Amino acid sequence: MSTLPQQQLDEVHQRFQAFLKRKGLRQTTERNVVLDAIYAINEHIDADELYVRLKQSGSRVSRATVYNTLDLLLECELVVKHQFGKNQAKYERSYSYWQHDHLICLDCNEVLEFCDPRIQSIQEMVAEFYQFEIKQHALNLYGHCKRDACPNREAVGMG
């Protein structure tokens, strides 16, 4: 279930409907199923994982529809696409989503999100200094997690 309030979910749907109309594209049940699914997930997910989840839930959405709808959602800025290292691209919802950054473990590929208001302050200062209007930013920090739960932690230390 989505963590967004119903009013914001309605805004997401209205934005997508208006976008489809502007592009001369049909609003279909399948596209809405993909939209609802991505907004019900509180994590990063790749297109194939999303397709499998939809199939497991009984949806009749094709793999091509998932990929095509994700492209449309990217274009209308309702999702963002991340490329964490060499892994398959991951998607996450972006409407009314707080600014956050990522730590990516090179061993287990886990993605941890964090938010630090100092980064926002630095961004604003740099934008003002260079007279630049920043539309979005991505900060991805790669390294080796030191958590006991990292499944590849021991293998790294053995090299």
pLDDT tens series, the chain, 159 aa: 456 778 888 899 999 999 999 999 999 999 999 999 999 988 888 999 999 999 999 999 999 999 999 999 999 989 988 877 677 788 888 875 666 787 878 888 777 777 788 888 888 899 999 999 887 777 778 888 888 878 776 554 444
Q: Which fold has domain 1-97?
A: Arc Repressor Mutant, subunit A (1.10.10)
What homologous superfamily does CATH list for 98-159?
A: Ferric-uptake regulator, C-terminal dimerisarion domain (3.30.1490.190)
| Rounded CA separation 114/117 (Å) | 10
DSSP-derived secondary structure for 31-90: HHHHHHHHHH--S-B-HHHHHHHHHHTT----HHHHHHHHHHHHHTTSEEEE--TTSPPE
Residue 101, C-beta contacts closer than 8 angstroms, at least 6 positions apart: 113, 114, 115, 116, 119, 138, 139, 140, 141
C-alpha neighbours within 13 Å on the C-beta side of residue 26: 4
pTM: 0.69
